[in-house]
């Protein structure tokens, strides 16, 4: 585990606002691969690490889009929500892949440029825009903002 991953793991363990699966009980490699195939893009390494180790969950009652290990999905599955956004809002997965959406808070992978197996995460809330270098940095920032 690298330093960022260790920092996130410690924050998750000590935060009452985080409701993820226990560490090590995440999604399977098979479902991560199926999701990438369904989306037609490669998921960033930091998101895959989180998915494989935590599977998904909420931060302060806000769902982070994850990989549901089911064939027929509705809800906050990342692939399902990408299809909904593409259909209803004409959002191209090759530009934006949303990972969080509420009325005043959104976050998405900027899928226009993968660098070192990572996409930047663009977070928009209350007319502010923050760019995170990867998904783990986004989660660390989000958890710290509610603590």
Render pLDDT for 49-106 as a digit per residue (tens, 0 to 9). 999 999 999 999 999 999 987 666 667 889 999 999 888 888 888 899 999 999 899 9
The 10s digit of each residue's pLDDT in 31-46 is 999 999 999 999 999 9
CA 79 to CA 3: how far, in whole Å? 29
Judge whether 17 and 59 are in contact, CB under 8 Å: yes
First to last CA, the chain: 24
When pLDDT is cut at 50, 70 and 90, the band that residue 1 belongs to is confident
Given this model, what pLDDT does residue 146 score?
Answer: 87
pTM equals 0.93
Instruction: Read off the tokens for 120.
Output: 């930047």
DSSP code for 43: P
Compute CA distances 113 → 80, 91, 120, 130, 139, whole Å. 22, 16, 8, 17, 20
For the chain, list the domains and their CATH numbers: 3-146 (3.40.1580.10)
Confidence of residue 129 (pLDDT cuts 50, 70, 90): very high
pLDDT at 72: 67
Q: Is the pLDDT of residue 11 over 80?
A: yes
């Amino acid at each position: 585990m690298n330093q960022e991953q260790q920092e996130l793991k410690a924050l998750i363990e000590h935060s009452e606002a985080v409701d993820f699966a226990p560490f090590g009980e995440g999604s399977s490699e098979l479902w991560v691969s199926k999701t990438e195939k369904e989306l037609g893009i490669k998921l960033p390494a930091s998101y895959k690490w989180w998915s494989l180790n935590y599977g998904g969950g909420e931060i302060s009652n806000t769902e982070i889009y994850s990989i549901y290990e089911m064939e027929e999905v509705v809800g906050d599955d990342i692939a399902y929500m990408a299809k909904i956004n593409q259909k209803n809002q004409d959002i191209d997965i090759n530009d934006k892949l949303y990972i969080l959406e509420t009325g005043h808070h959104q976050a998405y992978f900027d899928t226009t440029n993968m660098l070192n197996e990572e996409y930047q995460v663009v977070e928009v809330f209350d007319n502010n825009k923050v760019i995170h270098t990867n998904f783990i940095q986004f989660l660390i920032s989000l958890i710290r903002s509610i603590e």
